[in-house]
């Protein structure tokens, strides 16, 4: 019965997650979407801390069944709030973003699926669009490698603390709290990322991988705590930047499909990660598995930079409109030039 319920809730989450993301986007102007995503990440991080504490109290007071019932009833609060939002909000925001959206020098209407593609399933259409965008493919590769080989902290850090470091569950609870607090701080900082790019995500992922290696090599609990904090910040920044790109890079009519495709792909590496990490921990030990995962992640990012760095530099030189010298900018112009839409510039940003 539990397996059936888990399968049903998983199917619902595949639709629910993109729908919630798109609904949140429709409540704010297009230029405020990155900040809205960051606020959502803050709420999520705070919920991880408060939710865990409330779950413990509920299980202690009413048992596991009571906790499940309380969790189910909590969704009624969300349903009760939905009618408060005016139906016109989504339509108005969608029209405004349609007029602004340009991708590869074309309007959003120009990239609508053809009649043949319209007959395909939404998931297949989303996957087709997904794998034709280098930025989205690069994000998937970064997230897959880092998720499979290192960011299952609830497994790897628990094995490290209770294994080689001979710590207690109370010490791991401290680590879990630091992870949640660091995630909240990272989400707040991510609100300043107005137009994140794939290189930004790669930089945060690389920083997290190197911190993971340093944490695995530490033998003192306090040192591990000090390393876990920036590790959580880097993870939160990377996740928020990734979410921002997923919700702003595709044209409006493809965003839901892209988010659905991302949800399906991420489920695959989330399923593959824990068994693989468990096998590595069993064969190599917790410390060695963490070091190996961090080094492989860092090496994969470095190879990507070497392979595509020269191409991105050449494309950036070929599209000088990306950078506007200070002395040529009009008075009151922003410090950074707006994101350009030429093919060469997009290639430079997404490599």
**pLDDT score for 298:** 92
Locus of tokens 């994101």? 339
The pLDDT value given to residue 122: 63
Taking the complete model, does pTM exceed 0.85, yes or no?
no
Q: CA 341 → CA 176, 194, 242, 251, 319, distances in Å?
A: 42, 17, 20, 13, 10
3-state secondary structure 81-126: HHHHCCCHHHHHHHHHHHHHCEECCEEHHHHCCCHHHHCCCHHHHH
Predicted confidence (pLDDT) per residue in 145-183, tens digit: 988 887 888 788 888 888 888 888 778 888 888 888 888
Fold of 2-83+123-320+339-350: Growth Hormone; Chain: A; (1.20.1250)
pLDDT of 226: 93
Predicted local distance difference test score (pLDDT) of residue 123? 63
pLDDT at 83: 77
Residue 290: which of 144, 142, 138, 164 has the closest Cα? 164
**DSSP annotation of 39:** H
pLDDT number for residue 204 = 92
Query: What is the DSSP code string of 191-205?
Result: TT-SS--HHHHHHHH
Give buried/exposed letters for 244-276 (b at 16+ CB in 10 A, else e). bbbbbbbbbebbbbbbbbbbebbeebeeebeeb
* Alpha carbon distances (Å) from 284 to 159, 234, 292: 12, 26, 9
The answer to whether 245 touches 201, Cβ cutoff 8 Å, is yes
Report the pLDDT value the prediction gives residue 209, as an integer from 0 to 100: 92
The Cα 255–Cα 126 span in angstroms is 8
Please answer whether residues 102 and 317 qualify as being in contact, where contact means their C-beta atoms are separated by less than 8 angstroms.
no
First to last CA, the chain: 46
Measure the CA–CA gap between 53 and 176, rounded to whole angstroms.
12
Mean pLDDT of the chain: 74
Backbone angles phi, psi at 313, to 5 degrees: -65, -45
| pLDDT value of position 2 | 75
Query: Given the structure tokens 């990322």, which residue do they identify?
Result: 193
Collect all residues with Cβ–Cβ distance below 8 Å to 277 and sequence separation of at least 6.
Answer: 148, 149, 152, 155, 156, 289, 293
Q: Which residues of the chain have pLDDT under 50?
A: 88, 90-114, 116-117, 119, 313-314, 316-329, 333-351
| Residue-wise DSSP of 129-161 | HHTT-HHHHHHHHHHHHHHHHT--HHHHHHHHH
What integer pLDDT is reported at residue 297 of this predicted model? 92
Give backbone dihedrals phi and psi of 103, rounded to 5 degrees, phi first: -135, 120
């Amino acid at each position: 019965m539990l397996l059936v319920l888990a399968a049903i809730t998983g199917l619902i989450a595949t639709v629910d997650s993109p729908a919630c993301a798109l609904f949140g986007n429709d409540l704010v102007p297009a230029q405020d979407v990155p900040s809205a995503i960051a606020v959502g990440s803050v709420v999520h991080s705070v919920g991880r801390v408060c939710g865990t504490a409330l779950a413990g109290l509920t299980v202690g007071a009413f048992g596991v069944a009571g906790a499940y019932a309380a969790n189910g009833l909590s969704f009624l609060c969300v349903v009760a709030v939905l009618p408060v939002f005016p139906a016109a909000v989504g339509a108005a925001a969608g029209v405004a973003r349609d007029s602004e959206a340009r991708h590869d020098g074309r309007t959003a209407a120009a990239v609508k699926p053809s009649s043949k593609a319209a007959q395909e399933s939404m998931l297949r259409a989303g996957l087709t669009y997904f794998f034709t965008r280098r930025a989205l493919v690069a994000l998937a590769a970064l997230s897959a490698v880092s998720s499979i080989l290192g960011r299952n902290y609830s497994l790897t850090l628990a094995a490290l603390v209770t294994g080689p470091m001979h710590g207690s569950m109370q010490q791991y609870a401290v680590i879990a709290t630091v992870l949640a607090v660091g995630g909240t701080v990272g989400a707040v900082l991510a609100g300043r990322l107005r137009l994140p790019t794939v290189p930004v995500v790669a930089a945060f992922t690389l920083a997290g991988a190197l911190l993971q290696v340093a944490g695995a090599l530490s033998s003192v609990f306090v040192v591990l705590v000090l390393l876990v904090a920036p590790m959580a910040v880097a993870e939160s920044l990377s996740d928020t930047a990734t979410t921002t790109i997923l919700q702003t890079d595709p044209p409006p009519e493809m965003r839901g499909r892209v988010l659905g495709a991302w949800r399906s792909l991420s489920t695959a590496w989330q399923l593959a990660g824990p068994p693989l990490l468990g096998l590595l921990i069993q064969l190599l030990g917790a410390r060695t598995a963490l070091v190996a995962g961090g080094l492989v992640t860092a090496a994969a990012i470095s190879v990507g930079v070497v392979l595509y760095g020269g191409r991105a530099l050449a494309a950036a030189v070929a599209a000088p409109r990306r950078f506007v010298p200070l002395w040529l900018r009009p008075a009151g112009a922003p410090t950074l030039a707006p994101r350009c839409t030429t093919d060469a510039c997009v290639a430079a940003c997404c490599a």
